Structure 1
Amino acid sequence: MTSAQPPLSPQPPSEARRSLGPFEAIRGLRPAGVLPQVTPIRRLISDLPTSPDPYAAAQAALNPLRERILPGARIAVTAGSRGIHDLVPVVKAAVDWLTAVGAAPFVVPAMGSHGGATADGQLEMLAGLGITSESVGCPVEATMETVVIGTLPDGTPVHHDALAAKADGVLLVNRVKPHTDFRGPIESGVAKVLAIGLGNHKGAAALHAGGIPSLGGAIEAAARMVVAQGKILGGLAILENALERTAAVEFVEPDGIAGPAENALLQRAGSLLGRLPFDELDVLVVDEMGKDKSGAGMDTNVIGRCWVHGIPEFDSPSIAAITVHSLSPASHGNASGLGLADVIPARMLEQIDLQVSYVNALTSGAGGARRSRMPMVMEDDEAAVLAAVTMCGRRDWSELRLARIKDTLSPNELMVTPALLTESAERFDLEITGTARDLTSAGRLRPWSDR
């Protein structure tokens, strides 16, 4: 259809819609228009590096440590980053390996201010990630207490988890990947989990307080300061491919943390990163966001939005409007990063814990707070997408470039409108995997399997 600026067209609410509470005033408020149908497509990716056995790969990577572990040594093993596909087998591999060489390992959360900045909240989050004493075969201990091991040249205190500080050694476990907030020689990886993750709430807040442009340098300096204490055994770095599966597990020696060795892994990780197959979109519909998808709720590298003062924006992709329709259960109400979206349905508000979200957002400073503002709220999924379409300035809706993805961990499986389908049919790296269907039904997004 063709529509310059679709008028608002109040419609009677369906029986399935819940009470909108304080947003009752928007009931029935929806832009007029009929959304084009969408067709499922898949990006074809060949020659992806994939680890056939992440557990075995992690154990093999630890061999350089064999002669350095003293019998009975208490070794803290970190866990906490969300969205790592093989987090449980890699952590269990580390625990089993340490036990086999005579150590007494235990797992500690390394997640800064997450879990509401409480020890119980972080244990709950670890359990949600599958990390329990039963699943990894050792105690899981948590505290928000820290010790200050020094200060950076600008006076920033460097905090370190009190349980890790008392241990005989610390083994870091984390995925290495491009950061969602900044670019630098060291981004997300073993240095970050050491400086921010094991800094707990106080340490994470202190390092973020200087602003995002200085965060990369602060992470590097703080990580090196902790390494200099002599208890960091090294790090197991997990690299994932474009399908979010483990590509490799590598050991980083202590002197390589926040150094050239970690930078080399970051370069490898960047080359493997999954991305949307289109550089320009009018609307991106994201079924679900969450802390298990990305630290920013949605991976900024995928959606092409950083939105942090002082940090340059991405060259691509360029997306006029983004809708998000659900918060993952594994987020435990943490919707930090919600402000990266332009429109959400009202039902999503019921899934958000503002206290948990804002503690995390404010601890993250400029990036977290700015990106946790409230998007436009519409009555249901359909109204949210229609509102997003009005934002893109597309006069002829038959030319609408709209794509739907499940989350930013899955940018290679999409549903697309006819304008993008025509382009897809001409590309060797994309295949059409289904037939056209309506995007919504009775105001809600239709299931992916719904024909």
Structure 2
Amino acid sequence: MGVVEELIQSMPLPKMIRIRQHFPSPVVADIEQTIHEAFQQEAKHIQWPSGGEVAVVVGSRGIADLHLVTRAVVAEIRRHGCSPFIVPGMGSHGGATAEGQREIIEGYGVTEAFVGAPIRSSMEVVQIGELQNGLPVYMDRIAYGAEGIFVVNRIKPHTAFRGPFESGIVKMIAIGLGKQKGAEACHKLGFGHMAEHIVEVAKAAIGTGKILGGVAVLENAYDRIAEAHVLPAAQILDREPPLLVRAKSYMPRIFVDDIDVLVVDEIGKDISGDGMDPNITGRYATPFATGGPNVTRICVRRLTERTHGNANGLGVADTTTRQAFEAVEFDMTYPNALTSTVIEPVKLPMILANDRLAIQAAVKTSHVLKEQDVRMVHIRNTLRMDVIRVSESILPLLRERPDVEILGEPKAWKFHDDGSLDVDDAWVE
């Protein structure tokens, strides 16, 4: 036994109890029909070309039913006499390579066979303008060569800055469609200027006449599509801010304001741009965004398979496991940091041999005098916030809430002989 394990092994962990958090949950029952009706409603406001090819820009976020949304957009483009094709629009993600970006969208089910359109992935761009401060404006070369472009994205709060436009159509036009060079330009002066830059870049892109519109989806707290809207190009700047306000109202959260230890089972780019959504964890990589709980220590157990080794977000955790560290692909992780200029999310937390030690280390360093008083929360990831686990010390704060359902009795943490968490014991009802 090494000295690290000797220092940690006797640290007791509080018993945990599963609870169900209830959130408002509007949901789109038929995604493709809803998008078809939205296109019909906006038909006279979209400047459809008389034929030719139209690019559909799809990003790297794990948007609910992205494959169905994309297929519906492809179908609408065909109905208007044009030939659609798919362009990955994700800045520097996918290791900033054409192959990596194609692999990401295919992992979400956006394949040529399913959506009925070819995928054309490239990192080549053309410069379409320049901002007054000298920042160049770029656009994917293949998309720019088309007769028109539709941008598909989810509208939600950003993880690193605040403004009337955060994650959404405007940001996708400015950063996703700009590929690595466009993303690098937008991030050049830091997130303190991001709210301004993405709007100015989007205006320049819309001004080319290439952007036909955007398809904006809003998700509810259960990772389902709550709303779907078609925004003609001329209306994007006016209509997106109110949608962001509604998107924020749908966001899930932890119904506890002060947490000593937060255990997160998995993080990844398919969960959030920051691996785990800071709007949920309260742990941000920049000073330009705030909100969420006050958390003393965060322990991350794993990376998702769909993140393809991209460990962005691991750096804002305090402890993690050797298994998570060994899954890190630095060539997939660092391009994002080098492009965004924010390196905090790709730093390394304390790495422990297994789940048990990583969780115990977080508790040991959480600055709580009596271990039985530790306020501890355990979540699977920041997209699955309905059923979570909380320590007994938190129960008095939740018992009287009408939006909280207590499931069962407190249970001790259960680990396998190798120190890995018994996930079935933790989550299976």
| TM-score bin (small chain) | over 0.9
- 1:402 corresponds to 2:376: yes
Structure 2 alignment gaps of length 5 or more: none
> How far 1:65 moved relative to its partner?
3.1
> How far 1:432 moved relative to its partner?
1.4
Q: Secondary structure at the match of 2:359?
A: helix
- 1:424 corresponds to 2:398: yes
> How far 1:417 moved relative to its partner?
1.1
Q: Tell me which amino acid in the other structure corresponds to 1:260.
A: D
Distance 1:146 1:128, change over 3 A: same
After superposition, residues 289-308 of structure 1 pair within 5 angstroms as 289-308=267-286
The residue that corresponds to 2:117 in the other structure is: 138
When the two structures are superposed, what TM-score results if normalisation uses the length of structure 2?
0.95
The residue that corresponds to 2:360 in the other structure is: 386
Contact 2:270 2:306 in 1 (8 A): yes
Q: 1:266 aligns with which of 233, 236, 244?
A: 244
CA distance in 2, matches of 1:105, 1:65: 17
Deviations 1:64-85 (A, max 9, x none): 2367434532000011231211
CA distance in 2, matches of 1:209, 1:311: 15
Q: Secondary structure at the match of 2:411?
A: coil
In percent, how many aligned pairs have the same letter? Answer: 39
Q: Tell me which amino acid in the other structure corresponds to 1:432.
A: I
CA distance in 2, matches of 1:414, 1:449: 8
CA distance in 2, matches of 1:450, 1:84: 25
Shifted more, 221-230 versus 98-107: the winner is 98-107
Distance 1:82 1:312, change over 3 A: closer
Deviations 1:200-237 (A, max 9, x none): 11111111111011011110000010000001111010
Q: Secondary structure at the match of 2:216?
A: strand
Structure 1 alignment gaps of length 5 or more: 1-9, 12-24
> How far 1:29 moved relative to its partner?
5.8
CA distance in 1, matches of 2:352, 2:7: 8
Q: Tell me which amino acid in the other structure corresponds to 1:74.
A: E
Distance 1:65 1:73, change over 3 A: farther
Distance 1:264 1:132, change over 3 A: same
Q: Tell me which amino acid in the other structure corresponds to 1:108.
A: V
Q: Secondary structure at the match of 1:436?
A: strand
Count of equivalent residues: 423
The residue that corresponds to 1:318 in the other structure is: 294
Q: 2:100 aligns with which of 103, 114, 121?
A: 121
Contact 2:279 2:290 in 1 (8 A): no
CA distance in 2, matches of 1:185, 1:138: 33
Q: Secondary structure at the match of 2:346?
A: coil
CA distance in 1, matches of 2:363, 2:213: 49
Q: CA RMSD in A?
A: 1.7
CA distance in 1, matches of 2:372, 2:402: 24
The residue that corresponds to 2:72 in the other structure is: 93
Shifted more, 417-426 versus 402-411: the winner is 417-426
The residue that corresponds to 1:61 in the other structure is: 38
After superposition, residues 47-58 of structure 1 pair within 5 angstroms as 48-58=25-35
After superposition, residues 147-296 of structure 1 pair within 5 angstroms as 147-257=126-236, 259-296=237-274
Contact 1:404 1:414 in 2 (8 A): yes
Deviations 1:92-125 (A, max 9, x none): 0000111122210001000001111111111111
The residue that corresponds to 1:5 in the other structure is: none
Q: Tell me which amino acid in the other structure corresponds to 1:188.
A: S
The residue that corresponds to 2:325 in the other structure is: 349
When the two structures are superposed, what TM-score results if normalisation uses the length of structure 1?
0.90
Q: Secondary structure at the match of 1:434?
A: strand
Q: Secondary structure at the match of 2:19?
A: strand
Q: 2:90 aligns with which of 111, 128, 134?
A: 111
Q: Tell me which amino acid in the other structure corresponds to 1:311.
A: F
- 1:370 corresponds to 2:344: yes
Q: Tell me which amino acid in the other structure corresponds to 1:165.
A: Y
> How far 1:385 moved relative to its partner?
0.8
- After superposing on structure 2, the runs of 4+ consecutive aligned residues of structure 1 that deviate more than 4 Å are 25-29
Distance 1:115 1:28, change over 3 A: farther
